[in-house]
Amino acid sequence: MSEPTTTPVCYRHSDRVTYLACSECGRPICPECSHDAPVGQKCPECIRAAGGQRVVSARSIVSGPSFQTSPVVFSLIAINVVIFLIGLSSSELEHDLIVNYGALSSAIEDGEWWRGLTAAFLHGGFMHLLFNMYFLYIFGPRLERQVGSVAFSGIYLASAAGGSLATYLFGPANTFSIGASGALFGLFGAWMYAAYRQRGSAAGSAMFNQLGGILLINMALPLFMPNIDWRAHLGGLVTGAVVAFLWERTAAGRSNARQMRAISGFAMLVLLMTLLAVL
């Protein structure tokens, strides 16, 4: 007989359900007891035990991301910018990158399943690129620091695939789609899920309400602006929330939490790309 599972609660506040855990000792902690450190988040006892260790506040983390603390985010930004500049250098190259090899299109029916990922690295104009990279800069760095760079890569790519799958399954037959929006909405979905789980605290409730407002605005944009692939947005959002749910169930409170998050994200990526290949 399997042992009954219990819902984790903060070790300092037994009335607060939480799925955060100290990256040092593994004990469950609520947002009030969580201190953002250079790597992960720590409980008050581990922070005190570290003595001279520098603690980085959440405000300073959001305001000052860097390549040292968020290498995947800055690498993704660089890759997207370089690909965009390559396309600008030659109309033939741009045509090849977007039409012949990269964009999500009906060619996926001919077995070109990789378009489910390559489309997320292509953009149709400077403002499209600028908006998406700014979104990544705002919502990516802190998530990468908290879950680890490998796990962050997993949720980003899985969300890109989830957005592509939604467009492929529910879009018109002649769908032609590019952009990182599906992947970015996946990051947003992870933040929304985390805020929803922590909505019982003042900080969690405020965060959930703020993100909810941003989500409503973004989901309403296709009503006023043409050529926005809302299916990719929704598919990425759902994928990101599902991956965050898997993180919660498989990694919270475990000493190998980062490895479990990475496994969950890349397992979702493999599943979604397989569906693109076989459907």
Contacts (Cβ under 8 Å, ≥6 apart) of 62: 141, 142
Distances (CA, A) of 125 to 128, 231, 273: 5, 20, 27
Q: Which of 123, 181, 201, 205 is catalytic?
A: 181
Q: Which of 70, 105, 164, 233 is catalytic?
A: 233
Q: By C-alpha distance, which of 151, 155, 159, 86 is closest to 116?
A: 159
End-to-end Cα spacing for the chain: 39
- Answer yes or no: are the C-beta atoms of 60 and 141 closer than 8 Å: no
- Answer yes or no: are the C-beta atoms of 119 and 183 closer than 8 Å: no
Whether 149 is catalytic is no
What torsion do the CA atoms of 200, 205, 211, 214 make, to the nearest 10 degrees? 140
Whether 181 is catalytic is yes
What torsion do the CA atoms of 263, 110, 117, 130 make, to the nearest 10 degrees? -160
- Answer yes or no: are the C-beta atoms of 33 and 21 closer than 8 Å: no
Angle at 13 between CA 9 and CA 18, to 5 degrees: 30
Contacts (Cβ under 8 Å, ≥6 apart) of 125: none
Residues noted as catalytic: 181, 233
